[in-house]
Every structure is written in structure tokens, then in C-alpha cells.
A and B are shown apart, each in its own frame.
Chain A
């Protein structure tokens, strides 16, 4: 893959971000305050971490619709264990393991049974959502140990801890995608699965890794979120599914597969974060916010596909 070459499209994304900040900053009092900006990046970190896995999934022409359920379930598992007095690392490991396993199950269904990704992930997500409700009879939990809350809410050198973790995820994902064999194979699989098989590359490895990694990211996001809020309620993961997909799409990850960069998905996550925050400050109810995000996704996907058609049409000329 090419490095971070700034193409026209990327430039456009960056221009939109800048414009967004200027407009919102001048319209909404308090938007540009340090406190609020930190708030935005902290909230965006959850979206961005989910988007890391989602980017890979979409690149191999899949989609992960298990975010809502799996995120809540992992947070619930992890939270309950914490309250039982498990040490933080162990509880977190358990949460991460649950998420990864659920992701691996998705990979298994896609690879071995050829079930379309949207079906298996939707089902797994619903099961996860159900389990999250069952585990604690539908009630929220909270009051976690201080170091755990610090991980979600605290800052080091003025930057939220969540964002260090986010950066770690983004950087690792990006290196994986651009510098390793596995990354090339993931792109290749999105481009032409037949070729991948013919080269003797195992699609099972790719599917397991990608869906498993997505589950892992979702679990991590769930854990951070519960730290940020110092609460787990069983439907906590709800907004993040659409937000993460939107982040990818805004960041230029093609829903047709084979294309996308995680750095730009990160920018997409920030845009979504900014938008949510601005709508919040303006006092717009979260229910409307989902409508906004939905519209953004549709418009961008439509533009993306239109653009693609045009380039295909024109690419053959001189």
C-alpha cells in the first residue's frame, strides 16, 4: 500500500474537519474550550477503536453488526468480575477473551458455512445483547475500582488515557495492514478472493483473524467505555455500531471492499465524535443524532460509489 499520500479525497476529508471545527466553534459557545475538546477526543476513542476492527472487516467485503451486543456483553462480563473482586488485568482479559471468541465464531461461520457476514454478526450481536441483559437481570452496574475508572477517564500529560490506548490500536492496526503479509492478504481478499485461494493463501486464517480482531477491538472499546462512565448498562453499546461504520465510511473505507486506511477511519471517528458532541451541546436529543449519522453514511456511500463508477468509466481513456 502507498503510505499516507494526501490524495484529493483525503484532502477533502481534512478540509471538512477543519471547516467543521471553525463553523461549530463560532456557533456553539464552549465548543472550543479545552475541556470540551478533550471530551470529544475521549468519546471518539471508543468509536475509533471499534473502527480499527471494522475497517479490516469491511475491507474483506464483510461487515460487523455484532458491535452493539458484543460491546455491552463484554463490558458486563468484565464489570461483574471486577465487582466480584477480580484483579483488573484478569477481569479485562476475561472481557477481551469473550469478545475475541465471539468474533472468532463469526469468522468460523463465514469461512466454514459461507454464511454472509451481516447475518452471522447480527445474530451473534443479538445473542450478546441478550446475554448482557440476562447476566444482571437487565440492571446496570457501577462503582468500579479507581485505577479502572482512571483508565477510562483520567489523563496523563493532559491527554486522556483512552486516547493513548486508541493511538496504540490505530498504529498497530495500521502497521499490520500496510507492513505485514497478513495486511496484504486482507486487501487481496477484498480485491479478489479467487486469486487469494489460488495462491494457496488460507482464507480461514484471514477470516478468523479479521473477525476475531474486530471482536477484540469491540471488547476493548466496551471496557474503556465502562471505565469512562463508571457504569455498565446492558445496552450501552448501542450507538457505537453505526458510529464505527460511519467512521470507516467517512474515512474512505470502501463498502465495496478492498480499500481503506485506518488512519482515515480515525479521522472519521473524530468527525462523528465532533458531530455527536455538537448536537449534544445544541441540546438535540440523541434519537435525532442517529438519524443524522444514518444520513451521513448513506450520502457518503452514494458519493463513493458514484465516484467509483466515474473513475472506472474514465480510467481507460489515455
Chain B
């Protein structure tokens, strides 16, 4: 029997302000009577739908917010953390769901922020660079510690964040969806690291929506639902359907469905487009009622292609035809009016106005269509927003909730809701299900299928192969900024086959 090192009992957390204090007079609970414990040298997986309260529970352990009720025991002694620094001092490291780095500093500065190596009065850059380099290499990553974090890819940034936390001597490491933006080979490395850590007696709390990962690394799984503790099971007893039903409270239907029919009309045709000066020209087309998957490694240029089509990025020659009409050079706002929509992979930067309410964000792109005469009908706006919330199962207290306080996955759903409301004819989806739970995923797949049945042409960029395979009628694989392969025969839609084209 392994020793329990961290234990949380009857934890309750009300919705809170920016200082982590409960809002005055509120009765809305994010967490209610939650139990959670961590044993020595185990990987404890935490799962639950978007908005179930996983990140919130972790923030309590990480000292970012206090619990309102209940107690936390570390090595059997009641403990409270006044801030993240204290939690860290007790050996608890936190890898956040959202990236937490200073983009304007270099890798080493980020890793050592707050505990710079000193030489008398001054910081000792040389030894920080050497140490950082050693750390990165030891973990198998070849990143120059002198690079500005801004110049790294999202995946590399994630790695820096992980290395930073690992560089503290922690007994417990919280990883909140660490793999969301990593590629397969990086995920493998991360798992090797996790195994290593566990062997050295370190415990890990691991949050993920990717079920296929859990069996590989988990020891126990705890399920949260609507802020409540549902139960904990050993990995040996892992049963996909059982976990799902614990998470969702019911059984889930088939993940992918296909009721749409591809039509002949070509909605989007790209001819000879170069996304960069030194890349090969790209040719592709999407027909009405067709779901076309765009696969490839992170950095293969898929997002750049999507943005080029949407007019939010300059490209280098080539034609973009939308229903036979050249749309190259048009501004995104004109394209939105014409029914071309691009759903960004980066919700924080491009998808949402974080300081505005759910309602305002959802209706933002449709105001012009909904109210051609300048005046906004606020009642109707509310109804429309509420409909979207119901349709996508967005977990929120009200349509007025500020997007900043939504859980990661629910923010993503808001972006999806916003674009669906615009009645698109061509929908470019960039990682539409990143950070979204299984239930919501299947909802989004259903909606994609419905849209296609209504004749919408869909270009779906995704790094998740099951999603590409399950949803697409046709698949393009991109490599180094160009199309490396086109797969038209559904019998060819196999993970290995697609992967072989990406490398």
C-alpha cells in the first residue's frame, strides 16, 4: 500500500473574484464537497467534462485560490497556501492549462524566473544558460535556452513550461492538459519523463481529455462531474464506457456519424497558392456538403493556409475561388458577409474577447445579419445566445458570465457557437475540438455533420487523427507548407498511412 501524501476533504468553492474570494452573496458553487487524494509515486488522472471543476481544484492545490470550505492535508497535516509560491515551497509544481510564460524573455530567463542565479549583485547568465541547456537535454529536448520564447512554436513553449516546473524539486506535479498542443513524438517523450518521475517517487496529477493516453500512464482515475466527486477507480478496472458514464451521467452514442451527402458544386478552390516564398504551390478544393480533413504535423502550414484563404494573412501568389469568384485579397469582414468562416486554433488571441460576456461573444459576428438596422434587440440577443449555450452544452452560470472565467473547453465552445451563428457556407475549422471533452466533441461532430447535410463546405484542420479519419470525406495531408498527399478512398483512411505522408 502506497502512502497517501496529499488529501482533500469536502472541498467547496464558490464562484470567485480575481483575488480568489467568493463573490459577495453568491450561492453558485464550482466545487461541492469534493474529495481527492494523491499517493506517493503515482500518476493520478483527473477527468471530467469541460467545466467540471478540474482546473479549479488544481488551483486550490497550487495555492492560486483558497478553498471556501473543507480541508487539505499534506503528509497528514492540515495546510493552507497563501499563494502559489508557498505551494511550490511545499513541493507542489503546477503546469497550467493555459501557457504561462513571458514571451519577451528567453527560455533560460523563463525557467529561472524568480530564482535567478546570482553572482554578487548581478545575475549569472552564463551559468543559467548552461544549466537550462543541461536540463533541456537531459529531458531530451533540443531547444536553445537563448531563444526568445516568442520565437518558439506552441509545442516548444509547452515544453519550456514543463521543463520549468520540473526544474523545481517537486514531490507532486500537476499537469493540466499538458499534451493539448504537443505532437506525437513530444508526447512520447513527456510520457517517458512521467514514468521516470514516478520511478523516483514523484506523484503526478494528470488532467487530459485524451482517453487513449490514460491507460498508458495512469495509476488511478478520479472523475468529477458538475463540481462533484463521482469516484475513483484503479487503472486495472479502466473501462471506457464506465468512465464515460461516470463523467457524463449517461451512455454516449456513436462518436462519429455521417448523414451528409457530398454534392457536385465546388465551393472553394485553391489554385497554386504559396503560403511562403519558398514553399510549393497548393491546389485543393472543397465541395458543397463535403467535409475535407487537413492533416499534418504542427508547423506544416495548415493554419497558415486557413488564414490565407480567410484573408487574414498575406500569401505569395495563387488564386482562391469561392463559388467561382476570386476572393483573394478580400478582408475577413467581407468574407464573413459572404459566408466564409475561419475558426481559429488560438481562442485566447483570436477567437474571443475575454473581458466580454458569453452573450456578447456569441452574437458578436452576427450582429450585422441579425439587426440590419443599427438598433440591437437585447432581449432577442439573450434568447439567441441561450439557444447556442443549450445546443453546445456550454457550462456557464448565465449568458452574462465573462468569458475569462469560463473553463478552457467552454471557451472553445463559445468560439464555435459564435461562428455557427453566422450561417456559414464555407467553414474552415482549425483544431475545433482542442481541449474539449468527449461529450462536447461528439456534439461538435454532430453539428459538423448537420452543417454538411445542409450543404456547407467544411475544411477541417486537425491534429487528432481519429477525428480526421472519422469525419472526413476526403483528406489532404500537408508537409512543409505544401500538400503532400490527397486521400480520396475511405479504405486508405488509416492512421499509419496518413502519418507516413506527414513525415
Contact = CB atoms under 8 A, between A and B. Distances in A.
Contacts of B201: none
17 contacts: A175-B122, A180-B123, A184-B105, A192-B100, A192-B103, A194-B100, A195-B100, A198-B84, A198-B100, A199-B84, A199-B85, A199-B113, A200-B85, A201-B114, A258-B103, A318-B480, A318-B481
Contact of B101 (A187, A192, A201, A315): A192
B481 A195 contact: no
Interface string A1-24: 010000000000000000000000
Contacts of B151: 315
Interface residues of B, number: 36
B64 A184 contact: no
A264 to B, nearest CB: 16
Given A191-B105, A200-B85, A316-B153, A179 B114 contact: no
A316 B101 CA distance: 17
A317 B104 contact: no
A197 B96 CA distance: 14
Contacts of B80: none
B199 to A, nearest CB: 29
Interface of B: 64, 83-85, 88, 100-105, 109, 113-114, 116, 118, 121-123, 146, 150-151, 153, 275-276, 278-279, 299, 301, 303-304, 307, 313-314, 480-481
Contacts of B304: 316-317
Contacts of A180: 121-123
Given A181-B118, A200-B83, A317 B301 contact: yes
Contact of B102 (A191, A313, A315): A191
B102 A195 contact: yes
* 6 A-B pairs with least C-beta separation: A200-B85, A199-B114, A191-B102, A258-B104, A191-B104, A179-B122
A317 B481 contact: yes
Please classify the interface of chain A as helix (H, G, I), strand (E, B), loop, or mixed, using the class held by over half of its residues. Answer: helix
B84 A315 contact: no
A105 to B, nearest CB: 24
Contacts of B299: 316, 318
Contacts of B118: 181
A259 interface: yes
A199 B62 CA distance: 12
A24 B258 CA distance: 73
A9 to B, nearest CB: 14
Contacts of B83: 200
A237 interface: no
A138 B156 CA distance: 60
A315 B150 contact: yes
A258 B276 CA distance: 29
B102 A187 contact: yes
B276 A200 contact: no
A314 B313 CA distance: 9
A242 to B, nearest CB: 26
B275 A317 contact: yes
A88 interface: no
Contact of A179 (B64, B123, B279, B307): B123
Contacts of A200: 83-85, 88, 114
B301 A188 contact: no
Contacts of A318: 276, 278-279, 299, 301, 480-481
B334 to A, nearest CB: 19
A251 interface: no
A95 interface: no
Contacts of B85: 199-200
A189 B21 CA distance: 24
Contacts of B307: 313
Contacts of A191: 102-105
A109 B108 CA distance: 33
